[in-house]
Amino acid sequence: MVTLKKIEKKIGVIERYAEFLPVTTKTPIISLNEGNTPLILAEALPAEIGLKNVKIYLKFEGLNPTGSFKDRGMTMAVSKALEKGAKAIMCASTGNTSASAAAFASRCGLKCFVLVPEGNIAKGKLLQAFRYGAKVIVVKGNFDQALELVKTITSTTDIHLVNSLNPDRIQGQKTAAFEICDDLGDAPEYHAIPVGNAGNITAYWMGYKEYQKAGRSGRLPKMLGFQAAGSAPIVKGHPIEKPETIATAIRIGNPASWKGALLARDESGGLIEAVTDEEITWAYRFIAEREGVFAEPASAAAVAGVKKLAERNYFKPGTTIAVTLTGSGLKDPDFALSFKDELIPVEPVLEKVKKIIGA
Ligand SMILES: *Cc1c(COP(=O)(O)O)cnc(C)c1O
């Protein structure tokens, strides 16, 4: 008789990094084996942007169970919500938070309500929320307005907030910094990341600091945050009422973790800058067409930012840059198909196919 061995390896981020997280043996762990995403060495990018003797690693968060880094925070937020006796959770979302919330809620029988801004959510994310069984409410407004509504509802009812204002989200998300240190043997000199609601840059900085303090890494990286030019409140120094960008995941005019982003920037000696939609689009195509890594437009903002800084000779030789690619390119099929790609029709005839491929 064959007996199947129980998988005993520590797999989800809570199990792997429990000593760094606010969990106890009583916390019910709701996990989809999130995290443990690959750190991929960029082969073509450094030379393309004129970087000699600098290594760029792509932390591909698109390979999380729902296709974005949001799963790291959601496993924590949902586990803690359950521990506190929650029956329902709620979030405002540009898409990925709702997909992740819906998945983790479905796994443990919680009700899930998501508020998304009308017209500015990528199709892949919306269909995930539906398929995981969430109630999807479309707000005729933008993300910032949806978040205000969610804040009011969750503070006046027993529905649990799972936006990154919930500190458990940030706790879970910091595990990505731990993984990078574990993979590289130390923190990188620089860490580039897109900034929307600014929870993730806050989380990474917290993670790098905690790991160093615990003696698990030696140095701290400079945090390099990038917003889209049409929705760059932190760069401009004031909220943006009508944020615009093709990178819908960072189309946010009044980031909830604004202060956390400034702290990460200033304590680390880094910077937060803006990149245009054209620069984002270039980076989006380059990493897919030349590195074989298909990430969504918001993720590409970080690559665009690295290119921009490289052109200013910002990076010291002999250093390492980690770049968070926050979500999968499959999330946004409309953007992916917005280029002039051509299908080449042919009859099933050998000679005709050979002619097309020049063989
Ligand atoms: C949520 C998200 C971001 C922005 O992260 P913040 O924590 O809101 O700054 C960037 N890219 C993708 C793909 C996201 O889902």
pLDDT one-digit tens code per residue, 208-255: 999 999 999 999 999 999 999 999 999 999 999 999 999 999 999 999
Q: Give the whole-angstrom CA distance, residue 298 versus residue 247.
A: 5
Mean pLDDT score of the chain: 95
Q: What is the pLDDT of residues 95-105, one digit of tens each?
A: 999 999 999 99
> In sequence order, what are the residues at sequence separation of 6 or more whose Cβ sits closer than 8 angstroms to the Cβ of residue 215?
none
pTM over 0.85: yes
Regarding the beta carbon of 248 and ligand 1, being less than 6 Å apart is answered: no
CB within 8 Å of 229: residues ≥ 6 apart: 245, 274, 275, 276, 277
- Rounded to the nearest angstrom, the distance between the alpha carbon of 241 and the centre of ligand 1 is 19
Rounded to the nearest angstrom, the distance between the alpha carbon of 359 and the centre of ligand 1 is 44
Question: What is the percent of the chain with per-residue pLDDT over 70, rounded to a whole number?
Answer: 97
Coil, helix or strand at residue 14? helix
| Residue 147 neighbours by CB under 8 Å, 6+ apart | 92, 115, 163, 197, 256
Phi, psi angles (nearest 5°) of residue 162? -120, 20
- Distances from the Cα of 154 to the Cαs of 36, 78, 267, in angstroms? 31, 15, 32
Q: Is 96 in the pocket of ligand 1 (CB under 6 A)?
A: yes
CB of 297 within 6 A of ligand 1: the answer is: no
Res 5: pLDDT: 57
Q: What is the pLDDT of residues 106-125, one digit of tens each?
A: 999 999 999 998 988 899 99
Whether residue 327 has its Cβ less than 6 Å from ligand 1: yes
Residue holding tokens 């359950």?
82
Q: How confident is the model at residue 6 (pLDDT cuts 50, 70, 90)?
A: low
Phi, psi of 55 (to 5 degrees): -95, 135
Q: Is the CB of 72 under 6 A from ligand 1?
A: no
pLDDT digits (tens, 9 = 90+) for 252-271: 999 999 999 999 999 999 99
At 120 the pLDDT is 81
How high is the pLDDT of residue 119?
84
Q: Contact at 8 Å (CB) between 198 and 255?
A: yes
Sequence-distant (6+) residues with CB within 8 A of 304 are 226, 275, 276, 279, 280, 282, 283
- Whether 123 and 92 have beta carbons less than 8 Å apart is answered as no
Across the chain, the runs of DSSP E, i.e. the strands, are: 39-41, 55-60, 88-92, 111-117, 135-139, 160-161, 190-194, 222-228, 271-275, 320-325
The C-alpha atoms of residue 239 and residue 133 are separated, in whole angstroms, by 34
How many angstroms does the Cα of residue 195 sit away from the middle of ligand 1?
A: 6
For ligand 1, say whether the CB of 298 is within 6 Å of any of its atoms: yes
Mean pLDDT, range 316-345, rounded to an integer: 96
Q: Classify 36 in phi/psi space as left (phi over 0), alpha (psi -120 to 50) or beta.
A: left
Residue 355 banded pLDDT, cuts 50, 70, 90: very high
- The bridge status of strand 55-60 relative to strand 320-325 is parallel
Query: How many Å is the maximal CA-CA distance in the chain?
Result: 70
Instruction: Please state, in angstroms and rounded to a whole number, the distance separating the CA atoms of residues 134 and 128.
Output: 9
**Does residue 154's CB lie within 6 angstroms of at least one atom of ligand 1?**
no
65 vs 230: CA distance, rounded Å? 30
| Residue 1 scores a pLDDT above 70 | no
Residue 66 CB–ligand 1 contact under 6 Å = no
Q: How much distance in Å is there from the Cα of 155 to the middle of ligand 1?
A: 24
- From the alpha carbon of 61, which atom of ligand 1 is closest? 13
Q: What is the pLDDT of residue 255?
A: 96
Contact by Cβ (8 Å): 73, 203: yes
Compute the distance between CA of residue 239 and CA of residue 255 in angstroms, rounded to an integer.
8
